[in-house]
Amino acid sequence: MDAALAMNATLSVRIPILGTLQLSNVNGNLADGIAVTFSTSVVNGNAKFYISNNWLYINLSAVVFGTAHGPMAFQLIPLPYVVFCFLSIPGIGF
C-alpha cells in the first residue's frame, strides 16, 4: 500500500436538531478507492472515496428520512494537498 495515499477518517453528517451522526470509519488506500456503507435510524447508503485527475472525490448515495439522494460525485480537494501554517509570535511580526 502506498502510505502517501492511505486514508483514515470518519464520515459524519450533521442534521439540524439531531446533531452530528457518525456514519462510518473510512480506512484504506485511495489508489484503490475506498468504499463504505452506513446505516443509522435516519440515514443509510454508501460512499466511495477515490482519486481522479489529481483530485479527491466522494461519490455518495443516501436515503435520508426515507428520501433518496444521489448518486452524486463531489470534488473535495486537489492532490497533493499542502497546508502552510504560519505561527504568529509576539514581537516577531510575521
How much is the pLDDT for 65? 87
pTM across the whole model: 0.76
**Cis ω before 80 (30° cut-off from 0):** yes
Distance CA 49, CA 22 (A): 17
How much is the pLDDT for 83? 53
How much is the pLDDT for 94? 47
Kindly give the confidence (pLDDT) of every residue in the chain, 94 residues in length, as a single tens digit, with 9 standing for 90 and above.
Answer: 456 788 888 888 888 888 888 899 999 988 889 999 999 988 999 999 999 988 889 999 999 889 999 999 999 888 876 555 455 555 554 4
